[in-house]
Amino acid sequence: MDSAEYMLFETALGVCGIAWSEAGLTRVQLPDRDAAATAARLAKSARRAGGAVPAHATDAAELLADYANGEDVDFSGVFLDFAGIATFETAVYYALRKVGRGETVTYGELAGLAGSPGAAQAVGTAMARNPWPVVVPCHRVLAAGNKPGGFSAPGGLVTKAKLLAMEGVHLDGGEPMLPGLFD
C-alpha cells in the first residue's frame, strides 16, 4: 500500500481522513481525539498527498462531510481499492454496502447476505478490519437480539450509537444515553 496517499478534512463530526490509490479509497478514518491522532492513524498505512488530489478522493471527502452534516448520502458510487482484502471480507463488504441508511442487520444476517450462512463470527472479524467505516457502513451491523455488538473506530460504541442516531436508529429505544451526548 506504499502508493496510497491521504488527506484530512473538516466535518461536523470532527477531522476525518481518507487514503486512496488510483483504484479507489484504501481507508476512511473517522475523527480521533484530535487531528494529529487522526493523521497518525492514516500515516500508518499511507503517505500524505504531495500532488493534486484525484477527483474520486475529493468526491468521497465531500460525501463524508455531507453525511456528517446529517444528509442522506449514497456512498454506492465511491470507488474502493480491494487490493489485499480477503475474498470472504470482500463479499461481506459488498453485501453490507446494500444495507441502507436507517437500516440495520445482525452479524448472522449479514453472513447470509454475503453467501456464508453461519459465519457470524467471521463477519464480526471483517467488521473489525473494515478499512472504510461509514462508506461500508459497519456501524449498521448489530449483534444477535439487536444488541450493539462492537465498533473498532475511535470512540467505540459511543461513536456507533451516534452514527446510528444520525440515521434515526436508536439502540436504546430513543432514551438519551447521557444528557447532551447527541445534541
Residues designated as active site? 138
Q: What Å distances lie between residue 152 and 22, 118, 148, 160, CA to CA?
A: 27, 22, 12, 9
Alpha-carbon span 44 to 163, nearest angstrom: 25
Alpha-carbon span 56 to 149, nearest angstrom: 32
Q: Which three cell numbers stand for residue 131?
A: 478499512
Looking only at the bridges linking them, the beta strands covering 141-142 and 105-106 are: parallel
Task: For the chain, give the number of residues.
Answer: 183
Q: Which three cell numbers stand for residue 96?
A: 453490507
Alpha-carbon span 33 to 31, nearest angstrom: 7
Least Cα distance to 153 among 135, 130, 170, 136 occurs for 130
